[in-house]
Amino acid sequence: MHVLARRDGVVSLCRFPVARLGLAVSLVMSGASHAQQVAMAVDTPLKETVVSATRMEQDADTVAATVTTISAAEIDRRMPADETDLFANDPDLAVARNSSRFGSATVNIRGIEGTRVLNLVDGVRLPDYYGGGGPSNVTVSDAGGPHLDFLKRVEVLRGPASSLYGSDALGGVVSYVTKEPEDFLTEGKPRAFGYQGTYRSADQSLSNTMSAAIGDDVFKYLLMVNRTDGKELETKGAVSGTSTARTKANPEDKNSSSLLSKFVWLPAPGHRLAFVIDYRNNQADTDVQRLISSLPKTAWMKGNDDTTRTRYGLDWEWKPQESWVDRLKFQAYQQNSEARTLTDSLRANTSAACSASSGSGNNCLLRQDFRMEQDRTSLGLQLDKLLEVGKVSHLLVAGADWSRTRVSDYRDFSIANTAIATGIVTYSKTLAGTTYPSRGFAPGHTDSLGLFFQDAIGFDEGRFTVTPGLRYDRVELKPKSDAIFSAQSFAPAVGKTDSRVSPKVAMLWQLQPSVALYGQYVEGFRAPNYSEVNGFFQNGTLYASIPNADLKPETSYSTEMGMRLKQGPVNLSFARYDNRYKNFIDNVALTCPSNPSCVTGLGSTYQSINLSRVRIQGWETRGAWDLGGGYRLDGAYAFTRGDDEGNHTALNSVEPARATVALAWNQNVHGGEARIRAAERKAKDRISGSLYSTAGYGVLDLSAWWKISTDMKITAALNNVFDRKYMLWSDVRFASLAQTTAGMDFYTQPGRNLSLGLSIGF
């Protein structure tokens, strides 16, 4: 089977590896959507349940950590375009955008991001985000998460979670939970179909989601398909043209095709088997008219980006009656992801070596081909058991995780060099002293094994709970150097094995029914990855990024204390945290030539090294007040400070203090929300280096919905109502913008923009 995708203005069939996946079923269900659930999007106050904090369903009020959720109903109301929009209302979260070309990058939790934050979809680890760096940064591979219309909820667990999830959960966990057939087949209905469409003016995108669910007491099936087409995300800039001063967004045509297929079998009481296929393909054609000042010989650049992720999964859950275990869960999956980035550019009147910065007499037409593949096979087993020993309860969670992750990249250049004086054209595979194809790191695989155990011990009828936890992890990196990598690298690829025991202890005290205090101490762990240990790149005589076989694992020691108050219509929470990191890994410029690791004859040498001490601390508060009559007031504020204590510098990954406040109303068949998002100025004394200091801002967003009938709902959102010009600190630091950077409006957020949604169920 294939999914429609547009390329070069023509509708064609894009790759979809699930051959003939229920073609007949797809035709029958082609008019479907998740409107059955959307039609019921009137918020009914329910007890909020989370899974990410303890790896089992638990009342959020009984978790000794900060966990927030975004429901499907909230996603439907807000209609976010991407992860940056999805987390915009959480002041302690941020997702940088690559404004030039690639869109959203990685989730930042309290100043920690990248491979230090674990991203899960239905318990499955998403591929690593990878950015090769360099002035043009055209070697990028993103995680390719699920389409937002497919989500039942999103959970965000703050702080280290290695005691349950192991390496890569050093900063927290983002858990995307996709919808199930049971979410549509409510009240005993044997089938549910519908359609949801969303238009966003900010990027002129049109998203169409069709879903269908059928089932009975034994078999259930859900199919969701989405197709989204759009243009570039607008800025507040007014300068067009092809130059370094351009402030309008780069022209772009983009599309995505997504599919979620779930077949559920209930073979016997207490048993549930689920077979899952999760697929997403993102494509974009970009005319990069905002040129790069450090590459002045580049006259034009065009890019084509294609990212595909496919997951095949099997989940088995057993909930017996009065057995040695309350729940036994087994999960197996295979996930394949591939990113391909093609970049064509012209370096005009440059040197015979096709320099991007100097020279004359030659025109060089370049095609750069970057590919990255990440394949992961994983098995997981978990058991849960509640025991009562006298007046003490024990809620036990234990299990094991194993995975093998294969990663490889491929870089190629094809150069057509025309001598201006003679018109003679020569073809080459060598640029800046490097002969292509090449690799950014040695290919190979990483084997990970984790064993975990946790016991929530309840005293005084559950009013006081102590939760110790422990996890052992072993991570083995096994490179398989090939002829391409060996020919370019000045050091052979090395293997590396790291192991760690990560403990945790948390306490929660329910002082009275309306007041609870909690605290936790957690240790985190992250093993160095393939690119940090064996990564290598050299750009002529300018600079090189070299491997470091002596890297130590990152570790963290974190404390968090908090309070929750629920008194009548008022719901308040407060958290204070202090995270200390040792051997924090950062890619830095070495002090050359005194450092013996420096590459002789180069201007600069970069290497991933362990920083001695990094500290991130802060506090945040959240609150909601039910005003009665369907009206509700809520808000949140977060302040974080980050320091590299070894070098006495600030951490740029930390966001400025931010806040959000909203008034929402729900009148059964219609409702709405007015929300203000604000941030203070990024003070220059909290910036390391000469990065541009963003100004503070306050932005008003409005949204409203109207349930026309039982099966039809329309939604509208007017964002940035007063058409404010503002920038996000995450975008500034991601692009390394200096105070002297020209055309800063290129990095501004969209002005006033409108989103419209229609949901129909039948």
Q: Give me the CATH number covering residue 469.
A: 2.40.170.20
Domain-embedded: residue 486: yes
Domain-embedded: residue 7: no
The stretches of 209-355 forming alpha helices (DSSP H) are none
Distance CA 179, CA 33 (A): 12
Sequence-distant (6+) residues with CB within 8 A of 740 are none
**293-303: pLDDT as tens digits:** 888 999 999 99
Distance of CA 449 to the CA centre of its chain: 23
**What Å distances lie between residue 190 and 10, 184, 213, 220, CA to CA?**
38, 9, 8, 9
Whether cis (ω within 30° of 0) applies to the bond prior to 596 is: no
- Give the chain's domain count: 1
**What Å distances lie between residue 437 and 18, 306, 417, 524, 670, CA to CA?**
31, 20, 18, 38, 59
Domain-embedded: residue 11: no
Amino acid at 22: G
Tokens at 234, concatenated: 């607008």
Tokens at 436, concatenated: 């292509």
pLDDT, residue 601, reads 77
The CA radius of gyration of the chain, in Å to the nearest whole number, is 26
pTM of the model: 0.90
Distance CA 683, CA 640 (A): 13
556 - beta bridge partners? 524, 581
Question: For 710, left (φ over 0), alpha (ψ -120 to 50), or beta?
Answer: alpha
CB half-sphere exposure, 409, CA atoms < 13 A: 26
Q: In angstroms, how far is the first alpha carbon of the chain from the final one? A: 26
pLDDT, residue 54, reads 87
Q: List, for the chain, all residue ranges whose pLDDT scores fall below the cut of 70.
A: 1-47, 133-137
Domain-embedded: residue 16: no
Distance CA 403, CA 122 (A): 16
Amino acid at 68: T
**What Å distances lie between residue 129 and 117, 141, 326, CA to CA?**
10, 6, 37
Domain-embedded: residue 121: yes
DSSP 202: T
676 - beta bridge partners? 661, 700
Domain-embedded: residue 378: yes
Residue (of 34, 48, 36) closest to 146 by Cα position? 34
Range of the domain at 138: 24-761
Sequence-distant (6+) residues with CB within 8 A of 152 are 72, 177, 178, 179, 180, 183
Phi, psi at 505, each rounded to 5°: -145, 130
Domain-embedded: residue 753: yes
How would you class 10 by CB atoms within 10 Å of its CB: exposed for 0-12, middle for 13-18, buried for 19 or more? exposed
Distance CA 152, CA 147 (A): 11
Residue (of 623, 619, 638, 732) closest to 679 by Cα position? 638
pLDDT, residue 182, reads 93
Using DSSP's 3-state secondary structure scheme, residue 538 falls into strand
